[in-house]
């Protein structure tokens, strides 16, 4: 996806909007910034936003000043504040790239070298990103501008960012959506639960973290008990040891209910995928954990009866072939310390 994104960025003529949780000095980020600076010098409206905490000790020094000097409007979201401030947990976990209002990218991929496997700290990094074209991109444009205007306290006419060219899909629906921690409705969680509860034949899920509340765990277990083929792919190599230990603490209950769990042995899975019944799929930024479902600003794309659903299913099954299936017997092989520690760890799950 990275070469495709670079190619599309090079085609920009009017505007480029980019919003990411993690940016890190390296090949991926610098290749993109070179293009953004060149486009800004030609009068393209370039805006770049990243999360302060997600990029701490990773972003290039003075990146905000340097990009602004190059004519790029740059903003660092939710700069460091006391952890006692309840807004500290509200991170911008979204990944959005919009080019001229006609092409958009989102998914799990941040702007750091491990996402393109230039750097391999946790083995092979498995992730998923999606490119959309046509009317659906307008939703990503709106998401970015609404967030940008809200935090910068400005108001602008969005109509000037409407694309000139319409690209109609041959079939189905593609609906980008966002989830805010300040909303009363937990959109991300609702979409996931809806897909699980409506599945008739199968529901396949890929997630880096598995921290479930009782509602989500019960829905997965009930689906499996009713004969639905429920499969989960989680990382074989963890990026966060405590979170991975917490993930494993849910295995027993899920497997006993009939859920099939696979660990990606070549490395770390960062993809966030739901696909069901050859009809519906979701690709986005939303993890199956408390932070994503309650605290973070997130976004994803829901798809229904489009050709891409088959590609997402194939990607899941291809990844599954590289995984080890986790059995109940393997789950039982825990040290005494882990048996004692896991229930205690769950008490702190909202903070992990």
Q: Does residue 350 have a pLDDT over 90?
A: no
**Residues 3 and 70 occupy one common structural domain:** yes
- Provide the pLDDT confidence category of residue 227 given band limits of 50, 70 and 90: very high
What's the pLDDT at 124? 98
Q: What is the pLDDT of residues 247-280, one digit of tens each?
A: 998 999 999 999 999 999 999 999 999 999 999 9
What's the pLDDT at 300? 99
Could you tell me if residue 3 is inside a domain? yes
* CB neighbours of residue 183 within 10 Å: 9
CA distance 112 to 228: 37
Could you tell me if residue 209 is inside a domain? yes
- Provide the pLDDT confidence category of residue 79 given band limits of 50, 70 and 90: confident
Could you tell me if residue 11 is inside a domain? yes
What's the pLDDT at 16? 99
Which stretches does DSSP call E strand in the chain? 15-20, 45-51, 73-77, 96-99, 103-107, 124-126, 129-133, 173-179, 202-206, 229-235, 260-264, 267-269, 273-276, 280-284, 298-304, 323-326
Could you tell me if residue 169 is inside a domain? no
Q: Does residue 168 have a pLDDT over 70?
A: no
**Residues 186 and 93 occupy one common structural domain:** no
**Count of domains forming the chain:** 2
**Residues 154 and 215 occupy one common structural domain:** no
Higher-confidence position of 333 and 92: 92
- Provide the pLDDT confidence category of residue 344 given band limits of 50, 70 and 90: low
- Domain hosting 193: range is 174-351
Q: The tokens of 165 are what?
A: 């060219």
Residues 205 and 228 sit within 8 Å (Cβ to Cβ): no
Q: State whether residue 123 is helix, strand or coil.
A: strand
Q: Which of 161, 187, 206 marks a domain boundary? A: 161
Q: What is the DSSP string of 5-72?
A: HHHHHHT-SSEEEEEES-B-TTHHHHHHHHHHHHHHHTT-EEEEEEETTTTTTTSPTTHHHHHHHTT-
Which residues are catalytically annotated? 93, 95, 100, 270, 272, 277
Query: In this structure, what CATH number is given to the domain that contains residue 330?
Result: 3.30.870.10
Could you tell me if residue 115 is inside a domain? yes
Segment 285-296 shows an average pLDDT of 93
Could you tell me if residue 166 is inside a domain? no
Q: The tokens of 296 are what?
A: 């973070």
Higher-confidence position of 337 and 160: 160
**Residues 27 and 155 occupy one common structural domain:** yes
Strand partners, 301: 176, 283
Q: Does residue 283 have a pLDDT over 90?
A: yes
**Residues 199 and 277 occupy one common structural domain:** yes
**Residues 4 and 30 occupy one common structural domain:** yes
- Residue 95 φ then ψ, to 5°: -130, 105
**Residues 297 and 324 occupy one common structural domain:** yes
Q: Which of 106, 139, 161 marks a domain boundary? A: 161
What's the pLDDT at 85? 59
What's the pLDDT at 82? 47
Q: What is the pLDDT of residues 13-60, one digit of tens each?
A: 999 999 999 999 999 999 999 999 999 999 999 999 999 999 998 999
Q: Which of 133, 161, 189 marks a domain boundary? A: 161
What's the pLDDT at 81? 60
Which of 100-104, 280-284, 334-338 bottoms out in mean pLDDT, i.e. has the lowest? 334-338
**Residues 196 and 139 occupy one common structural domain:** no
Distances in Å between the Cα of 52 and the Cα atoms of 126, 146, 154, 290 are: 24, 19, 21, 20
Q: State whether residue 49 is helix, strand or coil.
A: strand
Q: State whether residue 266 is helix, strand or coil.
A: coil
Could you tell me if residue 168 is inside a domain? no
To which residue do tokens 């952890």 refer? 83
Could you tell me if residue 263 is inside a domain? yes
CA distance 316 to 298: 22
CA distance 188 to 352: 18
Query: Of 94-98, 241-245, 248-252, where does the model show the most confidence?
Result: 94-98
**Residues 286 and 347 occupy one common structural domain:** yes
- Provide the pLDDT confidence category of residue 166 given band limits of 50, 70 and 90: low
Higher-confidence position of 217 and 329: 217
Identify which of 190, 172, 144, 167 has the alpha carbon closest to the alpha carbon of residue 286: 190
Please give the span between the terminal C-alpha atoms of the chain, in angstroms, as a whole number. 29
Model confidence pTM above 0.85: yes
**Residues 182 and 260 occupy one common structural domain:** yes
CA distance 97 to 26: 19
Q: What is the DSSP string of 202-254?
A: EEEEE-S-B---HHHHHHHHHHHHTT-EEEEEEESS-SSHHHHHHHHTTHHHH
**Residues 100 and 221 occupy one common structural domain:** no
What's the pLDDT at 340? 66
**Residues 204 and 314 occupy one common structural domain:** yes
Which of 37-46, 86-95, 122-131 bottoms out in mean pLDDT, i.e. has the lowest? 86-95
Strand partners, 350: none
Q: Does residue 352 have a pLDDT over 60?
A: no
Reported as half-sphere exposure (CB side, CA atoms, 13 A), residue 77 has a value of 28
């Amino acid at each position: 996806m990275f070469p495709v994104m670079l190619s599309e960025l090079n085609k920009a003529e009017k505007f480029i909007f980019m919003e990411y949780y993690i940016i890190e000095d390296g090949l991926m980020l610098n290749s993109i910034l070179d293009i953004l600076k060149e486009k800004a010098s030609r009068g393209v409206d370039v805006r770049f936003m990243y999360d302060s905490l997600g990029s701490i000790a990773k972003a290039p020094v003075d990146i905000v000043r340097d990009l602004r000097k190059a004519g790029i409007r740059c903003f660092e979201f939710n700069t460091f504040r006391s952890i006692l401030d309840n807004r500290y947990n509200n991170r911008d976990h979204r990944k959005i790239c919009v080019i001229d209002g006609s092409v958009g990218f989102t998914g799990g991929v941040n702007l750091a070298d491990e996402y393109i496997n230039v750097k391999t700290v946790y083995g092979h990094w498995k992730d998923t990103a999606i490119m959309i074209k046509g009317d659906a991109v307008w939703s990503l444009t709106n998401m970015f501008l609404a967030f940008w205007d809200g935090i910068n306290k400005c108001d602008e006419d969005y109509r000037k960012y409407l694309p000139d060219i319409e690209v109609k899909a041959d079939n189905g629906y593609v609906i980008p959506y966002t989830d805010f921690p300040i909303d009363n409705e937990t959109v991300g969680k609702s979409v996931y639960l809806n897909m699980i509860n409506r599945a008739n034949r199968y529901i396949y899920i890929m997630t880096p973290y598995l921290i479930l509340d009782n509602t989500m765990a019960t829905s997965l277990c009930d689906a499996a008990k009713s004969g639905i083929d429920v499969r989960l792919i989680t990382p074989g190599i963890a990026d966060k040891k405590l979170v991975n230990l917490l993930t494993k603490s849910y295995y027993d209950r899920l497997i006993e209910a009939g859920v099939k769990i696979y660990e990606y042995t070549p490395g770390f899975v960062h993809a966030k995928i739901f696909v069901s019944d050859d009809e519906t799929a979701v690709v986005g930024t939303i993890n199956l954990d408390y932070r994503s479902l309650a605290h973070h600003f997130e976004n994803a794309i829901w798809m229904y009866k489009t050709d891409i659903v088959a590609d997402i299913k194939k990607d899941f099954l291809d990844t599954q072939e590289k995984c080890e299936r986790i059995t109940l017997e393997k789950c039982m092989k825990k040290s005494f310390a882990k048996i004692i520690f896991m229930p205690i760890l769950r008490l702190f799950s909202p903070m992990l």
